[in-house]
Structure 1
Amino acid sequence: MRVTVLGGSGAWPVAGAACSGFLLTHDGFSLLVDAGYAVLPRLLELMPAERLDAVYISHGHPDHCADLNPLLRARALGGADPDPLPVFAPHGALNAVLALDRPGMLDAAVACHDFEPGASFSVGPFDLRTALLPHWVPNAAVRVAAGGHAVVYTGDGGPHPALVELARGADALIAEATYPEVMAVGDAPYLSTARQAARQASEAGVGRLVLTHLWPGSEPGEHLDAAAKEYDGRTCVASGGLSFDA
């Protein structure tokens, strides 16, 4: 399974970067995990919109799903006439983004599959298992497995035992780490620090930790230093273009 980071900026895209978006490929099948602001241009550098096979959205905040709209526009209006794009998301998470265009305009471009966090299902060659993490809206962390390997992505969410269980033994954990060590007032328990993410990575025994969703303007080195206090495995910050095999 190949993982390519399209973006990892939290809240809004900083100059030259995109918000949350991760492309997972295996056996010729491509799955986009989250489609935050500015993800589509990064995806189009790798493939035309009609070649994407499926999308998974962790939750309905726009820094995780806003670029689903231009993605569907590209497929509906681009002239290639592909099959409807399967999009998997928690129930109701896509209501706002799908309402951006006139009623019916994108209907032929998308096949929505709602689920409740905690569900398991298959998407192409991938087996997906989800878990609810604490956030302001329902957020479904996901374990994506294929070919004997597994990658776990948190979406957004505060520390929770469900994440440790979901990530146990995974090859990689892509974890929201908005702050290095000190949580902003009002954000606990709905977000995580790099140190908290690293602690859960250590408890789960994952092979690699990828810190994502850093607050714009953050210094990545501070996040890495904080994570190193809790986790001694391979650690990096999600930046556009980063790729690795799981």
Structure 2
Amino acid sequence: MRLTVLGGCGAWPTARQACSGYLIEHDGFRLLIDPGYATFPRLLDHITPDGVDAVLVSHGHPDHCADLNPLLRARALSGIPASPLALHAPHGALDAVLALDKPSMLASSYTLRPFWPGERFGIGPFTADTWHLPHFVPNAGLRLSAGGGASLAYTGDTGPSPDISRLADHADVFLSEATYLRTVPDPDDAPYLLTAHGAGMYATRAGAGRLLLTHLWPGTDENAALEAAKEAYNGPAAVALSGLVWDAAAL
């Protein structure tokens, strides 16, 4: 299993960092997770639009799915032969982004495969286990496993939950939302967002092999986020920056 980070900025992209977006590859199958704002150009640094085999979305906020629109446009309108793209997402999560164009324009470019968080299903060579994690909208925590035993856990966007430790239990890599450093400044948001320090605590509880911090608030000092995480986690850790690659085969 190979992970390539396309972006990991929360809320909106910056000049150097796209929003959430991750390309996962195994046995030649390419799965795109959370094509958020500005991830489509980063995707094109690695593959052509017809090279994506399936898309998996954690929730419907645009910083996690907005760039599905240019991906589908490229597949439907550019003359590139491409079969309908399987879109796996919680029920209703993609309604807004799919409504950006008239239905007939993109209808042949995708097949919608909705799921309820908590379900297990297959995507190509991957088994996807999902958890309902707390956020402002329905959000699915995702755990992907593939042949050879490699596993990747991803929170999507979430607040504190005991299910995070179950999601990340001994995962080879734990990709965790870390919007803030040590505290969520608005108490009303605290049930729905995590901190870098909190991500480190969950990584330790889960016995995760590696921690990647993502969804940092724009402008957050990356070294400060790592420092906060490492106060609670002593394993290898990094910030999910565009271009970062994790390869299970290299371990």
> TM tier, shorter chain?
over 0.9
Q: CA RMSD in A?
A: 0.7
Match of 2:82 in 1: 82
Quote the offset at 1:16 in angstroms. 2.3
Match of 2:178 in 1: 177
* 3-state DSSP of counterpart to 1:60: coil
* 3-state DSSP of counterpart to 1:31: strand
1:226 to 212, 225, 228: 228
Residue 30 (structure 1) aligned with residue 24 (structure 2) = no
Residue 52 (structure 1) aligned with residue 66 (structure 2) = no
* 3-state DSSP of counterpart to 1:73: helix
1:237 to 236, 239, 242: 239
Write out aligned runs for 1:68-217 (5 A).
68-147=68-147, 148-185=149-186, 186-217=188-219
2:79 corresponds to which letter in structure 1? Answer: G
Alignment partners' CA distance in 1, 2:203 and 2:223? 18
Quote the offset at 1:102 in angstroms. 1.3
Match of 1:42 in 2: 42
Q: Which blocks of at least 5 consecutive residues in structure 2 are unaligned?
A: none
Alignment partners' CA distance in 1, 2:78 and 2:146? 31
Alignment partners' CA distance in 1, 2:237 and 2:96? 35
Quote the offset at 1:159 in angstroms. 1.5
Alignment partners' CA distance in 2, 1:231 and 1:129? 24
Alignment partners' CA distance in 2, 1:106 and 1:162? 36
Alignment partners' CA distance in 2, 1:47 and 1:78? 15
* 3-state DSSP of counterpart to 2:75: helix
Quote the offset at 1:199 in angstroms. 0.4
1:89 corresponds to which letter in structure 2? Answer: A
Match of 2:7 in 1: 7
1:140 corresponds to which letter in structure 2? Answer: A
CA contact (8 A) 1:159 1:200 kept: no
* 3-state DSSP of counterpart to 1:163: helix
Identity, % of aligned pairs? 56
1:157 corresponds to which letter in structure 2? Answer: T
Quote the offset at 1:225 in angstroms. 0.8
TM-score by length of 1: 0.99
Listed one character per residue, the Cα deviations across residues 39-78 of structure 1 (whole Å, up to 9, x for unaligned) are 1101111111011100000000000000000000000011
2:195 corresponds to which letter in structure 1? Answer: T
Alignment partners' CA distance in 1, 2:160 and 2:204? 13
Alignment partners' CA distance in 2, 1:51 and 1:16? 25
Alignment partners' CA distance in 1, 2:31 and 2:114? 16
Quote the offset at 1:103 in angstroms. 2.4
Listed one character per residue, the Cα deviations across residues 113-134 of structure 1 (whole Å, up to 9, x for unaligned) are 0000000000000010000110
Count how many residue pairs are aligned between Structure 1 and Structure 2: 246
Alignment partners' CA distance in 1, 2:34 and 2:203? 21
Alignment partners' CA distance in 2, 1:206 and 1:101? 41
Listed one character per residue, the Cα deviations across residues 161-215 of structure 1 (whole Å, up to 9, x for unaligned) are 1111111010010000000102121211100000111101100000000000000
Alignment partners' CA distance in 2, 1:21 and 1:34? 5
Following superposition, which runs of at least 4 residues in structure 1 exceed 3 angstroms of deviation?
A: none
* 3-state DSSP of counterpart to 1:105: helix
1:214 corresponds to which letter in structure 2? Answer: L
CA contact (8 A) 1:59 1:93 kept: yes
CA contact (8 A) 1:35 1:68 kept: yes
Quote the offset at 1:22 in angstroms. 0.5
* 3-state DSSP of counterpart to 1:104: helix
